[in-house]
Amino acid sequence: MKKSISFDEFQSVKRVAQACNPLKVKRDKVQAKIEALQAEYNAYDTQISALEAGIKSIIGFRTEELVKKIIVPGTDKNGKEIKTTKYVPTDIVTYDKDKKQYVITIPDASEANEDTNASDTEEEVSEDAQQSSNE
């Protein structure tokens, strides 16, 4: 396939290319940053996977699926503000008081649709936080 363009049309192409060049340079720099960050992300993910390998092989879930991080503001004995970090069970993990163990419930597709409409109350979250701190 051949396409012929005039000298003036080609000059227009060159002017547009010249106008686009600074944007293309910035785009290439951003792409390089994205690739570097992707490599860094993959390195962190590999480290996390290595640390979680035992949990995942025994339980079948990653830690972020089983617990969530909650930062609770408070004050110390001197009245200074402090933040306490607690890891509480997620929605799929419940505590069975009779058997004194945690139960992981995997919702079916029909239950998952119902659960998306329901929301956690603060009472449930604080109860889970108390159970986690007691153990």
Q: Say if residue 51 is in the same domain as residue 81.
A: no
Domain that holds residue 22: 1-60
Count the domains in the chain. 2
CA–CA separation, 86 and 89 (whole Å)? 10
pTM of the model: 0.56
Q: Say if residue 46 is in the same domain as residue 68.
A: no
Q: Say if residue 56 is in the same domain as residue 74.
A: no
Answer whether residue 120 shows pLDDT above 90. no
Residue 132: per-residue pLDDT: 47
- DSSP per position, 60-82: SS-HHHHEEEEEEEEE-TTS-EE
How many other C-beta atoms can be found within 10 angstroms of the C-beta atom of residue 90?
A: 17
Residue 107: per-residue pLDDT: 76
Last residue of a domain, one of 45, 60, 75: 60
Last residue of a domain, one of 42, 60, 78: 60
Answer whether residue 82 shows pLDDT above 80. yes
Average pLDDT over residues 104-129: 57
Q: Say if residue 80 is in the same domain as residue 32.
A: no
> Taking Cα atoms as reference points, which of 72, 71, 51 lies closest to residue 62?
51
The pair of three-digit structure tokens given for residue 101, joined into one six-digit string: 């163990």
